[in-house]
Structure 1
Amino acid sequence: MWKATRPVEYPLEAKYRPVLESFLPKDPMSLFNLKRLSPKEEFPNLERNYTCMGQILTLNMYTRQFNRATEAGVIFDDVIRPGLEDPGQLSGPVKVGCVAGDAQSYILFCDFFDRVIEAYQGYKITNSQNSDFNFDNLKGGDDFDSMYVERCEVRISRSVEDFSFPTHCSRGERRRLFSLAKKALSQLGEEFPGCLYSLEERTQGNLGEVLTAQIPSALMIKNGVARDWPDARALWVSKDGNLVVWVNIEDHLQLVSRQTNSNIKEAFERVCVNVLKLEELYKKMRHPFVWKEHLGWVVSSPGDVGTGLRASIWVKLQHLSQHKRLNNILERLRLRMESTESSGVYKVYNIPTIGFTEVELVQLLVDGVKLLIVMEKKLQEPDGSIDHLVPAQK
């Protein structure tokens, strides 16, 4: 068993230590005067909590995080609040149940966040996360059977260095983020024409329906994401309407590239080109996007770190949706499927956002959806069986 030995003390070091320590920043928690009881008495009731947070959190883990606070004042109870406000359901997809108040949260509370990321995304965190926006490396994506694929979209979220995340940022921070976005998007518009609309102004004609749809949910209000709504929230829309950038909603920035057809390759190319342009513009303003070596692109939800990318395809799967092996097939493909308002049409999207590059994630979705379509066609045949098509775990 290893034993720690007391470090050697030198007379001058002992003499000047109090002076040196006086220059160190104080622990933010020591500046608070929170009227809290012991960690055991403050530990939340997780008995009927079905979120990933509720499955991971233990009293010992809670105790370790209890007296920690980031420099911006984020404490652990701020992190787990979403899962306490919305404990999820026994059936259906598991929700993350937690959110970071700032980028430092992922470092200070890594004991907790790393476990949540690994459990939710099914990925063992390594020393580095790679990024690849070379959309030419994507194979396929422009050759779907249009009889089965209705539309698609690619979303990428980004957070800006030196600012708290939406659940914790102040009005001043949010307004400063809006100013930075306004400046960056105006320069983006020089090459890719578009217009920025403030959500405080609800009279944008054709955009009225889009803006109304972005009214904050009850959970966003409870979590603090929607504080002072709609102050400093905005929407940038490209001239052709295929690219949308949300400002200060659930993340500092979220780019959404949409296609009304099945060409997800085109949607992916559009979002790659423009997120790289915005990255350069923010670097010039000395506010780069947040990147951590082991986590990749860091955003507010641990369910989106790594790439911040969520690609979705709307597919007609009337027969496969009723198959007994569907959940197992989706799990093997590392995809998730949700029903939509259209009968027989399902939204299929990637589960992981970390452990893969951006190109690899979209490729995962493209290959998976192609296989789902093959299975759907097979099930339309008399006595059609898909057992031989079930893939190995991705």
Structure 2
Amino acid sequence: MWKVKPPVAFPMEMRYQAILESLAPPDPLSQFHLKRGSPEEEFPDLCRNSTWMGRILTPAMYCRQFNRCTHSGVIFDDVIRPGIEEPGDCTGTVSVGCVAGDAECYILFCDFFDRVIEAYHEHKVSNQTPESDFNYDNLKGGDDFDTSYAIRCEVSVVRGIEDFCFPTHCSRGERRQLLLLARRVLQQLEKELPGCLFLLDGLNQEQQMGLKINPPSSSQLRIGVARDWPDARAVWVSKDSSLVVWVNMEDHLKLVSTRDDANVAEAFKCICITLQKLEEYYKELRHPFIWQQQLGWVTSSPADVGTGLRINVSIKLQLLPQHKRLPDILKRLRIRMDKTDSPTLYHVSSAATFGPNEVELTQLVVDAVKLLIAMEKRLERDIDIDELVPTQK
């Protein structure tokens, strides 16, 4: 008599087991008639891949995901395509190397996505629901930088809209429906914050340059974000230029507040107030922002799950970038410092979006910028900075 082996249980999938069984039909790919080999034959060459996808994906994991497909038609090969197209550089920042075609991907392929998220954000995915904090009054500082060093700041946040695929996978019709929704929502917003919506396909080259609209990159074209460009893409700009809302670009929505006085506190306040208003308007239209219990706010990229918030401050530094302890300092502060075209100008930004809440992430960058400026001032006076180096956070 044949003995039936017990099913193999994978811990990362246990909490989603009931959902996975209800979502995945016995042979979901049969409806697409894809001519593929076995998982062993289809497994990608990851020998020179430096993305988190390439480091984490194993033949066994690939085999587990191989025959799964979301209701909108996203298969696992769609998820890992960005990392295969752009394998990354081992000397630079490690990218996630994957995208979600829809919100269901984070559930159906959780065994893979959870591990990528944990590696990229250095924060464990658990059953605990992430908390949001949009109370900008809880932020300490951010409006008191030395403006001879801190010259500019940008606070941005991305959101996905429920019931729609992400830009990497959505159809033309979905994209146009998203634009119609955004029009209605932004018209509501204009009652309190005057502004104007510009459709990208109605702008000439000079107008696009004035709004700082760049053509799609080769990477965006390869992963499908820029399909049918510029159809159903738009940008809304407030009358006082304090806020820009991008529609159907890399994500469904992206809010950006930029200030030339590097006042992070005011930029963060602008984002918090506007985002909560937009969330309310979208809920009224029965299309709320996408939220998942274990991950928080989710969009197409695992690099943006949790809060979707990015804080970027441009600061002038001449001596600190040459200091031998700078890489260790940045790691301890949990921030990134990227070069610009100017030899003394650097962008300081948060390294992750998952784990801390919105206020905590902003506070982390504010404190880091103050410390970096203090270190630069000490080096200018030829004073050692060792006593300012923080303990590991």
Letter in 1 for 2:68: R
Q: Measure how far apart 1:212 and its partner are.
A: 5.7
Q: How does 1:26-41 map to 2 (within 5 A)?
A: 28-41=28-41
Q: Distance in 1 between matches of 2:126 and 2:390?
A: 26
Contact 1:143 1:263 survives alignment (8 Å): yes
Q: Distance in 2 between matches of 1:301 and 1:98?
A: 7
Q: Measure how far apart 1:95 and its partner are.
A: 1.0
| Residue number in structure 2 paired with 1:137 | 138
Contact 1:83 1:98 survives alignment (8 Å): yes
Letter in 1 for 2:306: G
Letter in 2 for 1:270: C
| Residue number in structure 2 paired with 1:242 | 242
Contact 1:150 1:314 survives alignment (8 Å): yes
What SS class does the counterpart of residue 167 from structure 2 fall into? coil
Q: Measure how far apart 1:32 and its partner are.
A: 2.1
Alignment of 1:390 onto 2:381: no
| Residue number in structure 2 paired with 1:173 | 174
Q: Distance in 2 between matches of 1:26 and 1:198?
A: 44
Letter in 2 for 1:197: F
Letter in 1 for 2:248: N
Q: Distance in 2 between matches of 1:162 and 1:387?
A: 52
Contact 2:208 2:214 survives alignment (8 Å): no
Q: How does 1:156-305 map to 2 (within 5 A)?
A: 156-203=157-204, 207-211=207-211, 213-305=213-305
Q: 1:55 to 1:210 in 2, by over 3 A?
A: farther
Contact 1:51 1:95 survives alignment (8 Å): yes
Letter in 2 for 1:305: V
Letter in 2 for 1:265: A
| Residue number in structure 2 paired with 1:8 | none
Q: Distance in 2 between matches of 1:51 and 1:234?
A: 31
| Residue number in structure 1 paired with 2:10 | none
Letter in 2 for 1:388: E
Q: Measure how far apart 1:90 and its partner are.
A: 1.5
Q: Measure how far apart 1:4 and its partner are.
A: 7.2
Specify every segment of 5 or more residues in structure 1 that has no aligned partner in the other structure, as ranges. Answer: 6-20
Q: 1:390 to 1:258 in 2, by over 3 A?
A: same
Contact 2:158 2:309 survives alignment (8 Å): yes
Specify every segment of 5 or more residues in structure 2 that has no aligned partner in the other structure, as ranges. Answer: 8-20
What SS class does the counterpart of residue 155 from structure 1 fall into? strand
Q: Measure how far apart 1:387 and its partner are.
A: 1.4
Q: How does 1:1-394 map to 2 (within 5 A)?
A: 28-127=28-127, 128-203=129-204, 207-211=207-211, 213-382=213-382, 384-394=383-393
Q: Measure how far apart 1:76 and its partner are.
A: 0.5
Q: Distance in 1 between matches of 2:205 and 2:33?
A: 46
Q: Distance in 1 between matches of 2:303 and 2:161?
A: 18
Q: Measure how far apart 1:83 and its partner are.
A: 0.6
Q: 1:391 to 1:316 in 2, by over 3 A?
A: same
Q: Measure how far apart 1:135 and its partner are.
A: 0.3
Q: Measure how far apart 1:203 and its partner are.
A: 3.6
Contact 1:199 1:211 survives alignment (8 Å): no
Q: 1:134 to 1:27 in 2, by over 3 A?
A: farther
Give CA-to-partner distance per residue, 1:349-381, whole Å, 9 cap, x none. 001101111001000000111111111111112
Q: Once structures 1 and 2 are overlaid, which stretch shifts more, 216-225 or 119-128?
A: 119-128
Q: Distance in 2 between matches of 1:52 and 1:319?
A: 32
Q: Distance in 2 between matches of 1:239 and 1:342?
A: 30
Q: Measure how far apart 1:25 and its partner are.
A: 7.1
The alignment's TM-score, normalised by the length of structure 2, stands at: 0.92
Q: Distance in 2 between matches of 1:94 and 1:30?
A: 35
Q: Distance in 2 between matches of 1:337 and 1:314?
A: 9
Give CA-to-partner distance per residue, 1:277-336, whole Å, 9 cap, x none. 000000000000000111000111001100000010001111111111111111111100
Letter in 1 for 2:32: F
Q: 1:131 to 1:227 in 2, by over 3 A?
A: same
Which structure has the larger Rg?
A: 1
Letter in 2 for 1:45: D
Q: Distance in 2 between matches of 1:36 and 1:210?
A: 47
The alignment's TM-score, normalised by the length of structure 1, stands at: 0.92
Q: Measure how far apart 1:27 and its partner are.
A: 5.8
What SS class does the counterpart of residue 156 from structure 1 fall into? strand
Give CA-to-partner distance per residue, 1:30-88, whole Å, 9 cap, x none. 42211000111101111111111111111111111101000000000100111111111
